[in-house]
Amino acid sequence: MANAHISALQAKHADLDARIETEEHRPLPDMTLVSQLKKQKLKVKEEINGLH
């Protein structure tokens, strides 16, 4: 159970990372969106670390 949850969180973390990367490389990046995505990514990382 925990392994599946960790895997799902890791996938979400990777997805957020990709979204941040894409947004940052746009001609006019939405820095508010980037900031929100980074906060979400940090929360996911903290949750992953809490499960280890």
pLDDT (tens digit, 9 = 90+) per residue, 5-51? 999 999 999 999 999 999 999 999 999 999 999 999 999 999 999 98
Distance CA 46, CA 52 (A): 10
pLDDT score at 42: 98
For position 2, what pLDDT does the model report?
Answer: 80
- Confidence band for 52, pLDDT divided at 50, 70 and 90: confident
Determine if the pTM surpasses 0.85.
yes
Q: So what's the pLDDT on residue 36?
A: 98
Which candidate, 5, 10, 6, 2, places its Cα nearest to that of 41?
10
